[in-house]
């Protein structure tokens, strides 16, 4: 789990108030989503199946983490700071209500990875299998989610690829 806070509203803010958004994000899912081409025309959007909570265990872990987050935000220590709760709302307290809020409000963490993973789409030199002259070195090439925020993993991955490619004689 990754607990994160942002100083902006990640959802509607109709009263235009100062907002802090706190969330718990699954960083290593038991079940992943998928992406497929919907057409041979590159201008047509792909078919993306996020598969949020595709596993009962993923939902159970998220429920645990979110309840923990709510207990922190609703604690006596933060009462002077947290003046109101926008989502899921103070009336949401039961596991069933929290699960409903989670499934209704699930969003991408905007750090996709693995859509052209090493070993599946790419060879060990980051070349797209079956094509010449195309390599991919970004988060889409990372085959499995790291157990931390993706940014540092992307830097390490890119450095590894740069060292590998620098040592090659021809591209």
- Annotated catalytic sites, by residue? 111, 149
DSSP E strand boundaries for the chain: 2-6, 21-25, 34-36, 47-49
Q: Are strands 47-49 and 21-25 parallel, antiparallel or unpaired?
A: unpaired
HSE-up of residue 108 (Cα within 13 Å, Cβ side) = 9
Q: What distance in Å separates the CA atoms of residue 139 and residue 142, rounded to the nearest whole number?
A: 5
- Three-state DSSP class for residue 2: strand
The residues facing 24 across adjacent strands are 3
- Which residue is it, tokens 């209500």? 97
Q: What distance in Å separates the CA atoms of residue 54 and residue 59, rounded to the nearest whole number?
A: 8
Shortest CA distance to 92 belongs to which of 109, 80, 106, 74? 74
- Which residue is it, tokens 């693995």? 114
């Amino acid at each position: 789990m990754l607990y994160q806070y942002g100083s902006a509203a990640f959802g509607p803010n109709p009263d235009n108030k100062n907002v802090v958004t706190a969330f718990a994000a699954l960083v290593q899912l038991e079940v992943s989503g998928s992406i497929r081409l919907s057409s041979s025309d590159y201008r047509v959007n792909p078919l993306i199946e996020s598969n949020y909570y595709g596993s009962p265990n993923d939902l159970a872990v998220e429920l645990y983490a979110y309840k923990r987050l709510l207990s922190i935000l609703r604690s006596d220590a933060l009462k002077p700071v947290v003046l109101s709760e926008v989502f899921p709302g103070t009336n949401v307290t039961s596991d069933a209500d929290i699960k409903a809020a989670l499934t209704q409000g699930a969003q991408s963490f905007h750090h996709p990875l693995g859509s052209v993973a090493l070993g599946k789409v790419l060879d060990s030199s980051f070349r797209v299998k079956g094509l010449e002259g195309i390599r991919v070195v970004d988060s889409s090439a990372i085959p499995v989610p790291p157990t931390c925020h993706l940014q540092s993993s992307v830097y390490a991955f890119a450095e590894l690829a740069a060292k590998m490619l620098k040592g090659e004689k021809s591209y």
